[in-house]
Chain A
Amino acid sequence: AQKITQTQPGMFVQEKEAVTLDCTYDTSDQSYGLFWYKQPSSGEMIFLIYQGSYDEQNATEGRYSLNFQKARKSANLVISASQLGDSAMYFCAMRDVTGNQFYFGTGTSLTVIP
C-alpha cells in the first residue's frame, strides 16, 4: 500500500527566506511519480513540481525545487525566496505505476511572515 507522510502541520517562514516542507513516502513499486501541489485559501489545487522515481537529478521549477532522496524515500519541497503569496496549504502526492490514482499527504500549512 502507498502512503505519504507530511509531519509538519504548520510552518512559518520570513519573507525572502527559504523553507523546506517535508514529505516521506512508502511504496514497494520501483516506478512512481512524486508531486507537490499548492492549495491557496480559494481551494484550487495548483501543480508545482514533479519528480520521477528514475530521475537522477532533483526537479526544479523556478523558486521550487524537490530534494529527492530515494534511499530515504523522501521528497522534500524547497521554496526559495518566500513571498507572501506562497502562504497556502502544500500537499505532497504520489502516483504509482498503474497511474490510476494519487495518494496525498495530510498537507502542510505554510504562512509567510512579512
Chain B
Amino acid sequence: EPEVTQTPSHQVTQMGQEVILRCVPISNHLYFYWYRQILGQKVEFLVSFYNNEISEKSEIFDDQFSVERPDGSNFTLKIRSTKLEDSAMYFCASSELGRLYGYTFGSGTRLTVV
C-alpha cells in the first residue's frame, strides 16, 4: 500500500536553530498538509498546499514556518529560529482530489528543541 514517508523520525535541535522536516507524499496525490501534535494534546492543522502554493494555513503557521515542494516528490516544512514550544510530533499528510475523503498520514517526525 502506498505510504507517506517522513524523515527524520526524530530530530533534536538547539533553540534558535533552523530545522527542515521532510516528507515524500504519495505520488498521485495532489494535496499536501502539515499537522503538529504537542505531547499529550490534540492534532492541530498547520498548512495545506496545492498546485505549488499554500491553500490554507492556521494561526499557528506564522512567519517562523514555511513550506516548499522543491521537486516533484518532496514536501518540506522549515521552522526558523526554533523555540522550546515547537517541540512536537509533526505529521505530513497527502490526499487525492476527493475532498471528503481521508488523508494518508506519514509516521511523523518527533522534534525536540533543547
Q: Give the interface of A toward B (CB within 8 A).
A: 31-33, 35, 37, 42-47, 50, 52-53, 91, 93, 95, 97-107
Contacts and interface: CB of A to CB of B under 8 A. Distances in A.
B43 A33 contact: no
A97 B99 contact: yes
A47 B101 contact: no
Interface residues of B, number: 26
Nearest to B100: A33
Query: DSSP majority for the B interface?
Result: strand
Contact of A104 (B42, B99, B104): B42
Contacts of B99: 95, 97-99
Contacts of A107: 42
A101 B56 CA distance: 8
A66 to B, nearest CB: 13
A74 B91 CA distance: 26
B100 A31 contact: yes
A45 B43 contact: yes
B48 interface: yes
